[in-house]
Amino acid sequence: MPDAVKSGSIAGAAPALPGTQTEGLAPAEARFWTGDYYNQGNGHEEIFDKLKEECGVFGVFGHPDAASLAYYGLHALQHRGEESCGICTSDEGAFHYHRGMGLVKEVFDRDRLASLTGTNAIGHVRYSTAGASQLANAQPLVFKYRDGDLAVCTNGNLVNEPIIRRELEEQGSIFQTTSDTEVIAHMIARSPKDLVEAVKDAFSRLIGGFAFLIMTKDRLIAACDPNGLRPMVIGRLGDAYIFASESCAFETIGAEYVRDVQPGELLVLDKNGLREDRYAKLERRAVCAMEYIYFARPDSDINAVNLHMSRKRMGQQLAQEAFVDADIVTGVPDSSISAAIGYAEQTGIPYELGLIKNKYTGRTFIQPSQELREKGVKMKLSAVRKVVQGKRVVMIDDSIVRGTTSLRIVNLLREAGALEVHVRITSPPFANPCYYGIDTPDRRDLIASSKTVEEIRQAINADSLYFLSKEGLLEAVGGHAGEQDRGLCLGCFTNDYPTRVEFEHAKATSCSCD
């Protein structure tokens, strides 16, 4: 099977899906989702305006079943990106790789994994914004340069990528993708220095949030941005080294967590083992706060902080800051369940499953008509009528972006018979775009950028609304005492970004796409 997706098929999967150019299927006007495959981007017509996951990276060095480990590791990181994925292995200097559009289980099967031989591997799951959901941007990206093959994958976004890309193009570089991951490959290839020094020079020019894995025929290099915006952890499985965006991937394959990769650190693995180096010093630690609030799985740890326990403390802080007399507490699944439990424990108000998420409708189930669109909302999420009917409900959620999601969920609860709906959010108002790898709307589309809390309450049809204070968030996460904002990036809440952002060039986007 070629490393491509033809119209009407998914790489690594046999059946064609509705809406593709396959004879006999429904015409375009009858499609229940857009695009040629299940999770393809669909523009800005999202049923739920939740923030989009970042990407996930996974690496293996020194294990005979590297591809299989990468498969299971990427499956554990699937929540970080559902549009494309890929694995590249190194087998005694020869690269084998496969990338495809869709979920990990759709792109890879037993035969495909068997063809990816080798003891070293890097893999990637990706989410992209609309307009750049294409195989050319699927990672790992694989290149040939003077010293052989080079594979690169990243989680994050480079703020100054447009400037560097323009410079490289003026010097003769020809780009094959719109991903800024390719910029790194060009910078490395053009350097006269050896690989490690070339990587250091390249990374030292970057501004943004990123976690990189770079593989050659006999080396694996891992690095995080100088502020630690994008997380990455290192583990061991026997004599093998494992890297992942989240520690939950280690549990899946039975690896032991060793530590977090530090900001500005460069780790080099070769036949001599692991060498710890740096390409930049730590000036200000700034781990993305949304990792703790929303993105990472609750069974993951970031900087020794467990996400489930952290989110429970957010709920407890909300209860202390904004108690309201009610009959039940419910969380918007899945990311807000932990916080809802914490709120309920703190207040003594019973926690109930008032909202149920259907996990099998996919992220991008888009209908052509408003009537079907509203039914689509209920296919994604439904209220448990017998639980909420006649009750005063506290609804816990992690954030409000445009406000449309909160309005729909509040109305779902009201339609199911809730007498009152009080909304509590486990983050401060999200009023500013992210430039480090989270897909956020234009600032003008962020409801908190132009409306007061009272105006937002009215817009979402809630009886009351409260956002967790910045101080409450920092207390709940814990983090690094004595450091600015306890080592968190709060730019989306405070407009105080940890790096220079040249707004005329930077783009607020996810995983470096158009």
Residues at the binding site are 288, 335, 397-398, 434, 489, 492
Cα–Cα distance, 333 to 454 (Å, whole number): 25
What is the DSSP code (8-state) at residue 71?
H
Cβ neighbours around 355 below 10 Å, total: 25
Residues 320-338: b if buried by 16+ CB within 10 A, e if exposed = eebbbebbbbbbbeebbbb
> In sequence order, what are the residues at sequence separation of 6 or more whose Cβ sits closer than 8 angstroms to the Cβ of residue 455?
none
What tokens were used for 89?
Answer: 């292995």
Query: Distance between alpha carbon 177 and the CA centroid of its chain, in Å?
Result: 20
What single letter denotes the amino acid at residue 247? S
Annotated active-site positions, please? 55
Cβ neighbours around 28 below 10 Å, total: 11
> In sequence order, what are the residues at sequence separation of 6 or more whose Cβ sits closer than 8 angstroms to the Cβ of residue 267?
221, 222, 223, 234, 261, 274, 275, 276, 277
Nearest to 395 by CA among 378, 379, 407, 380: 407
Q: Report the alpha-carbon angle 120-10-48, nearest 5.
A: 100
What tokens were used for 482?
Answer: 């004595």
Ramachandran region of residue 378, left (φ > 0), alpha (ψ -120 to 50) or beta? alpha
Instruction: Work out whether the CA dihedral 44, 50, 54, 56 comes out positive or negative.
Output: negative
For tokens 């299989």, the residue is: 68
Cβ neighbours around 311 below 10 Å, total: 29
What is the DSSP code (8-state) at residue 302?
E
Q: Say if residues 21 and 212 touch (Cβ distance below 8 Å).
A: no
By CB atoms closer than 10 A (0-12, 13-18, 19+), residue 189 is: middle
Q: Say if residues 432 and 284 touch (Cβ distance below 8 Å).
A: no
Q: Say if residues 281 and 484 touch (Cβ distance below 8 Å).
A: no
**Binding site residue list for Mg(2+):** 335, 397-398
Dihedrals phi, psi of 387, to nearest 5 degrees: -85, -45
Give the residues across from 449 on adjacent strands: none
Cβ neighbours around 362 below 10 Å, total: 16
**Binding site residue list for [4Fe-4S] cluster:** 288, 434, 489, 492
